[in-house]
Each structure stands twice: as C-alpha cells, then as structure tokens.
Amino acid sequence: MARTKRKTPKDIDNRIDALRADLNSLQDNTKGLATDTADVATGRAQDALRLAEGLAQRALRLAEETASGYRDDIEQWTNDNLDDARERVREQPLAALMVSLGIGAILGALLLR
C-alpha cells in the first residue's frame, strides 16, 4: 500500500495563490479582449460609414445630373411652345382669359383648403 503525502496549510495557500494569479490573468485577458473587440468594431463601423458616405455622394451627383437634364428638357419644351401659346392668345384673347380665370379659381380653391 502506497502512502499519500499529507497536505499542509502551506500547500493549500500555494494553490489559492496560484488560483488567484490565474483569475487575475483571466481578468486581464478578458479586458484586453473587450478592448480589442471594441477597436475592431469601431474600425469596421468607420469603414462602413465611409462607404455609405461615398454612396450618398454618388447618389447626389446622379440626382443632380438627372435634375439638370430634366431642367434642360423642360426649358427647351417651354421655349418651343411659348411662341405657339403667344400666338393662340393673340388669336383668341377672350378664351385665354377664361382659361386663366378658371385655372386661377381652381388653384385658389386648392390653396384655401
């Protein structure tokens, strides 16, 4: 029969000290992991923000280009039809006046609501 060595209070204190050291090391590693994770998340969020900003700027440029194209088209259409409208008003001034009054009445009724 083998005899086992009897444990002393010193052995227990050594184990408790080792356990404390391991727990302190674990706590330090956990804090470091949290900090590293936050740094990575912040970096990715900044990258996503830069990408979103670039997309928004591109969308703005496309919208401005489209609006400019429509503006030019409307301006051209207006200029093309302005001479015809002037001539019709000269030919039928009373009808033009009635149409203007009707449009004014409709807009006035809509705006008073």
Q: What is the pLDDT of residues 34-83, one digit of tens each?
A: 898 988 899 899 999 999 999 999 999 999 999 988 888 888 888 888 88
Under 8 Å CB-to-CB from 89, ≥6 apart: which residues? 96
Helix (H, G, I), strand (E, B) or coil at 113: coil
Angle, in degrees to the nearest 10, between helices 9-91 and 93-112: 150
Return d(Cα 71, Cα 64) in angstroms, integer: 10
Domain membership of residue 3 (yes or no) is no
pLDDT band (50, 70, 90) for residue 88: confident
pTM (two decimals):
0.44
Domain membership of residue 2 (yes or no) is no
Domain membership of residue 108 (yes or no) is yes
What is the number of structural domains in the chain? 1
Domain membership of residue 17 (yes or no) is yes
Q: 31 lies in which domain range?
A: 13-112
> Closest Cα partner for 11 from 3, 23, 19?
19
Domain membership of residue 107 (yes or no) is yes
Domain membership of residue 104 (yes or no) is yes
